[in-house]
Amino acid sequence: MKLSIELSAAQAERLRHEAERLGLSPEDLARAVVADVLATPAEDFQAAAERVIRKNQELYRRLA
């Protein structure tokens, strides 16, 4: 999928600077950031998963 976004001048400069610092193209850095965000579970999901694990901790211990 090809995506086009608009950045402010300050954001574009920051992206260029960070990409250069990391030895990447701005496009590769943006792609990596998007991939990282998409790979990270949503905060709500993480909180719900932790609640379920705590709630069923004794059951999981017995089943182990």
CA 16, distance to chain mean position in Å, is: 20
DSSP helix/strand/coil, 64: coil
- Residue 50 CA to residue 14 CA, distance in Å, equals 36
DSSP helix/strand/coil, 62: helix
Q: What is the pLDDT of residue 10?
A: 95
pTM of the model: 0.63
DSSP annotation string for 1-60: --------HHHHHHHHHHHHHHT--HHHHHHHHHHHHHHSPPHHHHHHHHHHHHHTHHHH
pLDDT in tens, 4-61: 999 999 999 999 999 999 999 999 999 999 998 888 878 888 888 889 888 888 887 8
